[in-house]
Amino acid sequence: MSLKQLNKTQRAAVEAIDGPILIFAGAGSGKTRVLTHKMYHLIKENHYKPENILSVTFTNKAAKEMKERVLKLLDLNELPITIGTFHSVCARLLRKEAKYLKVSNHFAIYDVQDQLDLLKVILKELNISKDQLTPNKARNQISYFKSKMVSAQDQLSKARTMIEKNIAEVYSKYQIELISNDALDFDDLLLYPLELFENNPKILLKYQRKWKYILVDEYQDTNRPQFYFLTKLAEKYKQICVVGDDDQSIYGWRGADVTNILDFEKFFPSCRIFTLEKNYRSTQQILDAATAVVTHNDKRAKKNLAAQNGEGEKLGLMETRDELEEADAIISALEKEIKLNKRTFSHFAVLYRTNAQSRPLEDSFRKTGIPYNIVGSIRFYDRKEVKDVLAYLRLVINLKDTISLRRIVNFPARGIGMKTMDKCVARAQNDGIELFEVLKKAKDLPIRGKQSESLLEFYRLIKKYFGLRNKLSASELSRSLIEEAGILRQYKKSIDTADKEKYENIVELLNSIDEFSQKKPDSSLSEFLEEVSLLTDIDHWNDSDNRVTLMTVHSSKGLEFPVVFLSGLDDGLFPLYQTLEEKSELEEERRLFYVALTRAQERVFLLYATNRRRMGGENVLGMPSRFINEIPLEYLDRIEFQSALTRRVIGGPKNKVTKVKVMRTVTTFDDFKVGDIVEHSIFGIGKIMVLSGSGENQRVGVVFKDGTKKKLIVKYANLTKVS
């Protein structure tokens, strides 16, 4: 394997191995290819041993893809190279060096819901009402402080107003409670290594010698703790290569600092800079439109992206009356693309600024029978029944985890209410012992005999499996514990459809633990729980499914699709109203728009509504996003849409306008019967097998020629009788 498939600039960046390297990688310019080939080159040419290389990125999906590509290039099945997200790399480091920390090597990783549950308890203890401070606001504020490396003590000393003092007090108490629960949150995973390095120079030296060469993906998204983590590791050998695109820095709201990449040269004066400008993803029309917008930003490095896929089509611009018509317009354009260009559902992505915008889109897709995946809905591991089982497993690993204990002490129902738990908490505080240990002495509590017996039984169950945690595999322990706790039994005997689904979800969870144990036979339950806790929304997205993808622009980062619909381009929605006054925030919104456009390979549709229902149920008169107005007219093709028809406006000779109408099929209700052969614009020819309802509510069950079965609402299905 050689480096011949790389272009001149890519190859130069790969072969540059001495000293700090900064690679500005424009959208679609092959940064993953450069990173993987660089790892390949470092190992193949014996510049560095695999175990001396660290590669960090932001999603498990990207890390997995990177590792697979490197293994393929080297023709190996395994490699002792460290490739992972910042959080996973730091979590592993902390578990290894736990003896120097305030937590054990079995520490729990609290996700957002765990944090909120803990903050609810803290706010109650501090007697702070929701009117003064909500758990969610407290969590967001604490996370922001941590991203800026502001400690609870620092914030306490700075606090002036009552609100600031409340937040600082909650922050301080929150950190204490995390430690007492033997837990860290996501932000702590990044901060604790810095504390470790500061207090133990020998440990820092150990990891500097271990990771002599460092590669960083998506460097523009790093925050302050991540920046210091990397610079500390790299300061001995200064062998660090960072890849990123300042035009795609879109996480300022969670602490990311675009100046980390723009000022890289200041921190590493000897660095060499490479700019990748050949784009292998999009057409030139898309790139020029995106660049025209982002050049309105002041803070950016200049790049001139050149498309390798030709000029392509103009960006379609569609004005609609409201969000419902917007959804219909998307479906109409999608149907046309499928017919004319023989596309599949997986070729399409619908992007929006906020999750709330997905509802009318989902409604329309369901009504027309078009399959879709929505990224950002409730993750599998966030479903209540799944989190309940995970809480059992977490408690068995970590008896100090009071959040997990509170969650499952009455699941399945044991007659243990909140008042009983409050008494347990009071006893733990009075006696200075762990909450879990109070359960052993339940008979000494001022509660009914049945409740004390239930608490004691629960204590014995957890204690039993705590003793077995190192003797059984993750799979064996999980199945045995869930069986003995009676969780599956509870759902299995229920006739409720929802309970049946919960049963299946728990079975699926147990199957995933089985798979984990088979893949990693030497791994522990702790490692499985860590892997689950660090998953993100995008890690669950499956691009092999033949479905339209619906997601926020933030979630689409790093992905690509042949056709992209960018909906909700109303000024005040994208960009958001609250970003209009602050220049830095508006610039980030503009970068977000740039990211959205550059997800598209061949075709982009931009949609806005003149009337849209916003939060609170009010209709708001809309106007096109200012970002649309920043795109030169030469890159736009206005498409008019009115309910049941689409008209493309085409410039004719001498500035005359020619309108070509494309009518959508209109169906007369109650005109179908079982056995009719019908044609659908997307699914083709099929036979009606089932029919129910009448008028606007008429529904049909159709089996199409390729075997696809669909239940459709006639009103929306655009069915035509063939015979």
**Beta strand pairing status for 183-185 and 213-216?**
unpaired
Distance, in Å, from the CA atom of 444 to the CA atom of 222, rounded to the nearest integer, reads: 52
> Rounded CA gap, 13 and 22, in Å?
9
Q: 412 preceded by cis ω (within 30°)?
A: yes
158, with CB counted inside 10 A (0-12, 13-18, 19+), is: exposed
Strand pairing of 699-704 and 306-307?
unpaired
Tokens 């600024």 correspond to: 353
Residue that has been written with the tokens 């992905």 in this structure: 559
CA distance 369 to 371: 6
DSSP 8-state symbol, 135:
H
* C-alpha span between 659 and 652 (Å, rounded): 10
| Integer Cα distance of 365 and 350 in angstroms | 11
H/E run at residue 663:
strand 657-663
In 3D, which of 391, 388, 395, 385 has the Cα closest to residue 469?
395
* Rounded-to-5 percentages of helix, strand, coil across the chain: 50, 20, 30
**Alpha-carbon span 289 to 569, nearest angstrom:** 15
User: Distance (Å, rounded) from C-alpha 514 to C-alpha 36?
Assistant: 31
Residues 6+ positions from 301 with CB-CB distance below 8 Å: 24, 246, 262, 275
Rounded to 5 degrees, φ, ψ at 76 are -125, 160
Which residues belong to the active site?
31-32, 217-218, 248, 599
The residues, ordered by sequence, that sit 6+ positions from 25 with a Cβ below 8 Å of its Cβ are 31, 34, 243, 244, 245, 276
Alpha-helical regions (H) of 583-710: 583-597, 626-629
| Structure tokens, 42 | 């470092």
Cβ contacts of residue 302 below 8 Å, gap of 6+? none
**Alpha-carbon gap, residue 645 to 661, rounded angstroms:** 7
State the pairing for strand pair 561-566/348-352. parallel
Check if the beta carbon of residue 299 is closer than 8 Å to that of residue 249: no
Contact by Cβ (8 Å): 279, 306: yes
